[in-house]
Amino acid sequence: MWTGKGPRELRRVVEFDEPFLRPPLVQVSLSMLDIDQSTNHRVDISAEMVTEEGFVIVFRTWGDTKIARVRSDWTAFGPVRHEDDWEV
């Protein structure tokens, strides 16, 4: 991401410790960004392909932006199975 040329993208798969009952709402945010101060700051982070088992964090930059390092945090909200749940 340090070349500063063209579109650049990084994807990371996240697997939940326990599956949700249906795809959860996932919120991702940047928790650290090491970026060159002499270029425009163009960054985009999102969650894609969200399922009950996990999702993909997608980080993008473009143009002349130079990224040295990036870190993200995420939170997933949704229903999970409980030990008191049972099916008849």
Which stretches of the chain score pLDDT less than 70? 4, 6, 88
The 8-class DSSP code of residue 19 comes to: -
Q: What is the edge-to-edge ordering of all strands in the sheet holding 44-48?
A: 8-15, 54-61, 44-48
- Domain covering 8-77, topology: Immunoglobulin-like (2.60.40)
> How many DSSP H helices and E strands does the chain contain?
0, 5
pLDDT at 40: 86
Task: Report the C-alpha gap between 32 and 73 in whole angstroms.
Answer: 9
pLDDT at 4: 66
Residues linked to residue 14 through DSSP beta bridges, in sequence order? 55
